Copies of this chain bind each other. A is one copy, B any other.
Amino acid sequence: MATISLGFYLWKRIREVGISSIMGLPGDFQLELLDYIYDVPGLQWMGNANELNSAYAADGYSRAKGIPGCLVTTHGVGELSAINGVAGAHAEQVKLIHVVGQTTRPMQKRNMMIHHSIGFDPDHRVYAKMSEPTRCAAVELAEITDLEKATWEIDRVIRECFVQSFPVYIFIPLDMVHEQVAASLLDTKIDLSMPSDSHAEAEAIDATIEALQEAKSPTAFIDVLAHRHNAKADAQAVLQKLNVPVSSSVMGKSIYDETLPNWIGVYNGVVGAAGTKNVMEHSDLVLVIGSLPSDTNTGGFSRKLSKENSIEVNPQSVIVKGRTFPNIWMKPFLKRLLSSLSSITISAPSSDHTLANGIHTDDNAATHITQAWIWSRLSAWFRSGDFLFADTGTAAFGFTDYPFPSKFSFQTQNYYGSIGWATPAALGCAAALQELAHETGQSTGRTLLITGDGSFQLTMAEVGTMITRRLRVTIMVINNAGYTIERAIHGAHQSYNDISPYNFRYTLQLFGMPDDQAEKSFRRVSTKEELEKVLGDTGFEEQEGVKMVEVVMDKIDAPARLLEQIATRGEKQINKMKEAGFLK
């Protein structure tokens, strides 16, 4: 019987499901496991500056490629450093495979005081217990003596990662890496199909169509889980066919093509255009796809979508006017719904929806860059195919009112909201797009990163990885002297909302870009005119590698929709914002 090492088996499986780049840092307990990466054609080691960044990078990779991102860390120190990034992926239903190289089985059995442990009689599994809430499944190979079961378990958690769209863990003790398993196990591919109940699906389709046909003023609402569960194209097709008015949440923005006539903008309860709110709240049936109803994604829980007036297409169920059809997976359901719709007409209301109550600002007098101006201006600069990563801060809340190009992808982490996420996530996206270009032979869109100066400080070292890997990323850092979003919430002038002021001009140089290239790849702008110049400079944009724009803005200035969102907390909060100068 031809055999292969368990380590090789693991990476072959990871490659099989489409992964090419492995994030992570080396460590004593997985160096030998990492060796096998180089034996698998098409797989490559990325390497990051630290493990939290690795988790975020794997997150961004997954969002761009629709398959899991993968990171490898070392026992204890590495896995715990990454844990917040994995928790974020769980909250946002992003697929991650976190491989952890553990101490050897004898070390574990004897509770040896090996480095990276805690205490005098250390339980080496304590870290695995700590990360339990961050994942949906894990395989702890330490407990498996039957090696065929080990391979079976690896396959199981990789499958779960796809089916549930959550992080999974694979713990592999150092001494199991070279254990031999049957090579023929690889002949059967991992089953990645969704385990939908076909009968329930058919019933749900009937109920859905019936409800849609009965409705007088049906509409649709698309949210972020449609993206996470790889149903963006299917949802797009269904909603385009239905031709009902379509809105989205803030996190769900860009999932539906915002250039289509039936796009009516973001519906975010009291936080958003009144025109959109009006249409949505007068609709007698809303087709809700992939809802994630966090405070930040519902205008502080002010969005009104009643069970009775909704068809909810969830990751693993469909609920038609309160009646639940379980065991239905989103993507196959939408596919089947689309084909069922071909022979059916829905009496959708006219598609002539004007966003009459979008934000209108009059900051024409200002020559400096204002929050009222920049997001609409940037939206006009975006192109089809681009991926935009906006970190939690003013950047994540500025775009609400402005339509994106078609085939655009807007990525935020609004529910988990861990700042610093966007920079490594953009790295992961750029790596994924580079792979896609290579795999398909077609050019892809740009990776754009917009982050606050505060958020940038947490994880900026990944700019070094972008430069080393010759990835193409355009970075915009909003330099507004600290944590503006927090200033709007509380303590506008307290020193805890200040940050160490960076001289961003030296970022690319520190991270290894040659001086002359760095000179050409960096711009600092503080007026609209200067930013216009950069946006119009195709020479700047078309350069290879990392480009960086420092955008200087006011400390006390925030997007109107962000202030509305914060204002949902009540009168006292509104007064605070007035006092601080955010509101007039």
Seen from chain A, the residues whose Cβ lies within 8 Å of a Cβ on chain B are 26-28, 31-32, 34-35, 37-38, 45, 47, 49-50, 52, 76-77, 80-81, 83-84, 87-88, 90-91, 112-120, 126, 129-134, 293-296, 301, 414-420, 457-461, 464-465, 467-468, 483, 486, 489-491, 494-507, 509-512
Most buried by B among A81, A88, A507: A81
Chain B residues in 8 Å Cβ range of A507: 510
Q: Do A80 and B84 touch (CB < 8 A)?
A: yes
Q: Do A118 and B130 touch (CB < 8 A)?
A: no
Q: Do B294 and A115 touch (CB < 8 A)?
A: yes
Q: Do A114 and B506 touch (CB < 8 A)?
A: no
Known: A34-B491, A84-B81, A512-B501. A90 touches B118 (CB 8 A): yes
Q: What are 25 A-B pairs with beta-carbon distances under 8 A? A: A26-B486, A31-B489, A31-B491, A31-B496, A32-B490, A34-B491, A35-B490, A38-B494, A47-B495, A49-B500, A50-B52, A50-B420, A52-B81, A81-B84, A81-B418, A113-B293, A114-B294, A114-B295, A129-B133, A130-B131, A461-B461, A502-B510, A503-B509, A503-B510, A506-B509
Closest B residue, CB atoms, query A414: B115
A118's partner among B87, B293, B465 (CB-CB below 8 A) is: B87
Whole-angstrom distance between the alpha carbons of A499 and B50 in the complex? 11
Closest B residue, CB atoms, query A510: B506
Chain B residues in 8 Å Cβ range of A294: 113-115, 117
Whole-angstrom distance between the alpha carbons of A113 and B130 in the complex? 22
Whole-angstrom distance between the alpha carbons of A87 and B117 in the complex? 9
Q: Do B77 and A84 touch (CB < 8 A)?
A: yes
Chain B residues in 8 Å Cβ range of A126: 133
Q: Do B496 and A34 touch (CB < 8 A)?
A: yes
Chain B residues in 8 Å Cβ range of A28: 486, 489-490
Closest B residue, CB atoms, query A419: B77
Whole-angstrom distance between the alpha carbons of A265 and B511 in the complex? 41
Q: Do A117 and B91 touch (CB < 8 A)?
A: yes
Chain B residues in 8 Å Cβ range of A416: 76-77, 115-118
Chain B residues in 8 Å Cβ range of A26: 483, 486, 491, 496-497
Chain B residues in 8 Å Cβ range of A293: 113, 120
Chain B residues in 8 Å Cβ range of A50: 52, 420, 457-459
Known: A118-B87, A415-B115. A510 touches B510 (CB 8 A): yes
Q: Do B458 and A460 touch (CB < 8 A)?
A: no
> Beyond A47-B495, A113-B415: 7 further Cβ-contacts under 8 Å?
A31-B490, A34-B496, A47-B500, A113-B293, A114-B295, A115-B296, A457-B464
Q: Do A77 and B500 touch (CB < 8 A)?
A: no
A501's partner among B27, B88, B468, B500 (CB-CB below 8 A) is: B468
Whole-angstrom distance between the alpha carbons of A119 and B458 in the complex? 25
Q: Do B494 and A503 touch (CB < 8 A)?
A: no
Known: A113-B293, A458-B50, A467-B500. A87 touches B91 (CB 8 A): no
Closest B residue, CB atoms, query A24: B496
A35 smallest CB distance to B (angstroms):
6
A96 smallest CB distance to B (angstroms):
13
The 6 closest A-B pairs by CB, nearest first: A464-B500, A80-B84, A77-B418, A31-B490, A50-B458, A506-B510
A34's partner among B84, B113, B460, B494 (CB-CB below 8 A) is: B494
A336 smallest CB distance to B (angstroms):
25
Known: A28-B486, A510-B504. A295 touches B112 (CB 8 A): yes
